[in-house]
Structure 1
Amino acid sequence: MIVSKQVQNVLDFIQKIEIEENLNPWEANRAFYTNFIPLAGKKEAVFQITEQTLSDNNNSINLRIYRPNDDEKQPVIIYFHGGWFNAGSLETHDTPLRQLANATQSTIIAVDYRLAPEHPFPAGLNDCEFVVKWLIENALSINIDPEKIIIAGDSAGGALASSITRKFRSKIAVQLLIYPVTSNDLKTASWIEFQNGPLLDLKSGIQAWDWYLPDNYKNDSDAIPLLANDLSGLPPTFIAVAEYDPLRDEAIQYAEKIKKAEGSVKLNLYKGTTHGFFQMGGFIADSKILMQDMVDFLNNTVITK
């Protein structure tokens, strides 16, 4: 494995992160992940950023809404953040989502779904589903074009995005999956090659799935996208994978499965990069390349049509 100087600088930065010793394992994961924020670089100004809380029975779901302009009936990207199902927040992805809102000139709704292990599957997925239902029902009143709903997510958020797109396929115009989690098997060639990292490792993968997935859901395709067999009729799909990422091969397998179901997929491999580079735009140039690739894909499939 030969990483670029940019990636090596990121790895050096991460190596120096210090976490309080008195935290439990998942709290330590969250603190560690939050410390990645400076890697994303400078925060761009956005026309309007607001926050909203939805209530689903006794559960509150926080949203952050990025509006790049005041146009009527804007395309909308509903975004589910990564973090191995047990970390991540509205803050961890704030910088790249500002950039994505400006680049695509689309409203972005970031979803602060519940995390494991306190809230194992299907709690987080249920939150995401509730938000999408709410948006579909209220699209016009919140100035969203109901014909241009885009589902997106990175890593664990990519797993959630995959399942949500399947559930709402007739309502979704495009899905954007950034190095998505698609399997709990952890036995692909890329998992074997990169079982010790960089960034993700096999031990953390096993722990993440153990926290997230109760025994009675071990074969649930809503949790494990690669197990899904109902992939016909999906919207155009963009999948980004990093060369030095244990998740690389399972994402490629998911792309191939969509193709076998006669779906339209654009699969982009970013060579020399590692998992998480979407959030590392202050260091890694491929983050901006990925951003532009998503803009181009959306322009060709939904936004300008």
Structure 2
Amino acid sequence: MNDQLMLSPEVLAALEFIQAIPVPDEEDAVLAGRKFYEGFIPMAGEPEALFHIEDRDVPSATGDIRIRIYRPSDGPSLPAVLYFHGGWFNAGSLETHDRPVRALAKESNAVFIAVDYRLAPEFPFPHGLNDCRHVLKWVNEHAGELKIDGARIAVAGDSAGGALAAAAASHALKTAGVRIRCQALIYPVTDASLSSPSWEEFADGPNLTLEGARLAWDLYTPSPADRNHPDASPVMAEEFTRVPPTLIITAQYDPLRDEAVLYAQKLQAAGVDIKLTEYTGMIHGFFQMGGMISSGKQAIAEVAGFLRLHL
């Protein structure tokens, strides 16, 4: 890790918390990584109480897809936001992101629908993305049953979930009857090349490392040719003009920072309504650490405000 980083006491405490998470007693490295990631959950603080939370299964040709529906109130025809969690495409779950999603639902007054998409390496690209697309289509078709406004749907995601959100929104733009009003991407993965300056600057962390990133892409895209596909690397898309209004949040000390900025620049050049916010002094994952890092709560408030504005 770069010794010159100006890390706040909050960030240092968060990194110490992560270092103290017990290493899972698991021979399989992927399973161990998933269990380790669950150790991050308390960093989000206490869970917000909501009007109603429900787990459901969405049927698909490849098996049921578990979703969790967060309803902030009993108001009729609320807008809906599909949320795709981070975890390098091979980790993360409804549980790892439950607390920040609760907070987002409460502050935005929108129904959040978190998707438990299939993970690599058991289900490499594009299986997880196909789950996200399928649930988006299902939500649109079942808006009445879900008591949401089908004309006010957004997508959001953090890290790998940001890539999935962007790809799902892009696909929806080409699908009759599915309209995405906006997208909120929190330090999104956008480029499998791992060649941006910030990957060189923060190759050894904090929190993410270049070695871990290479392994994650190997697991998610065993065929290197897939890494140039815009469904895997959103920055590789050839056309951005129809992308909806977009919020992109980055962290100053995040190796994903520059690829997210590049994606924002491509959207801006295409005339997309884009807001790009860099959180000074922050590390990758801070959005999930609102119980320890005040900027995490600030990021949740910014995402919620953006959603209220566009929904």
User: Are 1:120 and 2:124 matched, yes or no?
Assistant: yes
Partner SS state of residue 218, structure 1 = helix
Which residue of 2 is the match for residue 253 of structure 1?
A: 262
Q: More displaced, 39-48 or 53-62?
A: 53-62
Q: Which moved more, 1:86-95 or 1:50-59?
A: 50-59
For the 8 Å contact 2:86–2:159, the answer to whether it is kept is yes
Task: Return the alpha-carbon distance in structure 2 between the equivalents of residues 182 and 139 of structure 1.
Answer: 30
Asked if 1:63 corresponds to 2:72, the answer is: no
Q: Distance in 1 between matches of 2:97 and 2:145?
A: 26
Output the CA distance in 1 between the equivalents of 2:306 and 2:94.
25
Aligned to 2:92: 88
The separation in 2 between residues aligned to 1:109 and 1:36, in whole angstroms, is 21
Displacement after TM superposition at 1:47 (Å): 0.5
Aligned equivalent of 1:217, options 226, 235, 241:
226
Q: CA deviation at 1:287?
A: 1.0
What is residue 230 of structure 1 aligned with on the other side?
239
How many residues align? The count is 302
The 2-side partners of 1:154 and 1:58 are apart by 25
Deviations 1:166-223 (A, max 9, x none): 1113600010000000001111111001000000000000000000013142321111
Alignment of 1:157-176 (within 5 A): 157-169=161-173, 171-176=179-184
Q: 1:20 to 1:289 in 2, by over 3 A?
A: closer
In structure 1, C-alpha distance between the alignment counterparts of 2:24 and 2:73, rounded to whole Å = 41
Q: Equivalent residue of 1:150, what SS?
A: strand
Deviations 1:148-179 (A, max 9, x none): 10100000000000101111136000100000
Q: Partners in 2 of 1:299 and 1:111 — Cα distance?
A: 21
Matched AA of 1:179: Y
Comparing 188-197 and 133-142, the one that deviates more: 133-142
- Of residues 76-85 and 284-293 in structure 1, the stretch that sits farther from structure 2 once superposed is 284-293
The CA deviation at 1:21 is 3.4
The whole-number CA distance in structure 1 between the counterparts of 2:216 and 2:289 is 22
Over aligned residues, Cα RMSD in angstroms? Answer: 1.0
> Does residue 143 of structure 2 align to residue 134 of structure 1?
no
Matched letter for residue 202 of structure 2: F
**Cα offset, 1:234, TM superposition:** 1.1
Structure 2 counterparts to residues 97-108 of structure 1, below 5 A: 97-108=101-112
Question: Distance between the aligned counterparts of 1:218 and 1:182, measured in 2?
Answer: 10
Equivalent positions of 1:135-150 (< 5 A) are: 135-150=139-154
1:97 Cα deviation after fit: 0.7
For residues 133 and 262 of structure 1, the distance between their equivalents in structure 2, rounded to whole angstroms, comes to 26
1:51-93 per-position Cα deviation (integer Å, ceiling 9, x unaligned): 1001212412000000000111111110000000000000000
Equivalent residue in structure 2 for 1:12, among 16, 25, 28: 16
TM-score, normalized by length of structure 1? 0.97
1:39 maps to which residue? 43
CA deviation after TM superposition for structure 1 residue 99, in Å: 0.7
Note the residue ranges of structure 1 that are not aligned, 5 or more in a row: none
Secondary structure at the residue paired with 1:59?
A: coil
- 2: distance between equivalents of 1:296 and 1:135? 23
Amino acid at match of 2:203: Q
- Give the counterpart of 1:152 among 146, 156, 159: 156
> SS of the residue aligned with 1:119?
coil
For 2:181, give the aligned amino acid.
A
What's the counterpart of residue 300 of structure 1?
Answer: 309
SS in 2 for 1:273: strand
**Structure 2: how far apart are the matches of 1:214 and 1:20?**
26
23-32 vs 242-251, which deviates more? Answer: 23-32
- Counterpart in 1 of 2:57? 53
SS at 1:124 equivalent: helix
Task: Name the % identity.
Answer: 48
Contact residue 154 and residue 181 of structure 2 kept, 8 A? yes
Q: Show structure 2 runs of 5+ residues with no match.
A: none
Contact kept? 2:132, 2:168, Cα under 8 Å: yes
Alignment-derived partner of residue 210 in structure 2: 202
